[in-house]
Amino acid sequence: MGQPAEKQRRATYADLEAVPANKVAELIGGVLHVLPRPAPRHANAEGALQGELFGPFHRGRGGPGGWWILPEPELHFPDPDAPGEIDALVPDLAGWRRERMPELPETAFFPLAPDWICEVLSPSTASVDRDEKMPIYAREGVRYAWLVDPIARTLEASSLVLGRGWGPAVIYRDAARVGVEPFEAIELDLSVLWAT
């Protein structure tokens, strides 16, 4: 008769803090995910999108303002399967309406779920972003989620349907010029995300 499988120890926030600074670490359901820094296409798409949204929404220049748009914030949510433990997620971009979060927190993390997140997909992160992080964002009440794929040249936009999870995604491609919730006040030229 075989030996019982050894139960894997749940990772803790202390494990996340021990990850070298040149890596991105997230804690999801007691599992530590350690990833390399983003590849150039990923970094370009993230930076370009932040640039497009920051002026009109963060600063109110050429748009309505009223948002905090931040790169790679660390989000802390209670882990429902382990009382006293957390899920620590790091979306590529996140946005909070200032009416919900008038000031930035003093902590190094954000305990308040954002109103919008954006994950820039890469072959090494796509399954974690889609299968593990998206359900947590829905559970925590994030209203809008964008998945940007710089290789496929797509922006996939989803809205939360309260009590039911993510509604059907709308996919925009290539050089489309689009107004996408919650930032439909501006026309976003997707070609700037794919520039090489």
In a domain, 24, yes or no: no
In a domain, 116, yes or no: yes
pLDDT of residue 7: 66
Closest CA to 148 of 123, 127, 122: 122
The strand pair at 144-149 and 116-120 is best described as parallel
In a domain, 9, yes or no: no
Question: What is the DSSP code (8-state) at residue 7?
Answer: P
In a domain, 52, yes or no: yes
The enclosing H or E element of 178 equals strand 177-178
Tally of CB atoms within 10 A around 27 = 25
Quote the pTM value: 0.92
Tally of CB atoms within 10 A around 25 = 19
Q: Domains in the chain: how many in total?
A: 1
In a domain, 2, yes or no: no
Map tokens 């209203």 to a residue: 143
Q: What is the C-alpha separation between 22 and 66, in angstroms, rounded? A: 32
- The pLDDT tens digits for 76-103 are 999 998 999 999 999 999 999 999 999 9
The strand pair at 67-71 and 75-78 is best described as unpaired
Q: Which domain holds residue 130?
A: 38-71+90-194
**CATH number for the domain that contains residue 96:** 3.90.1570.10
In a domain, 27, yes or no: no
In a domain, 101, yes or no: yes
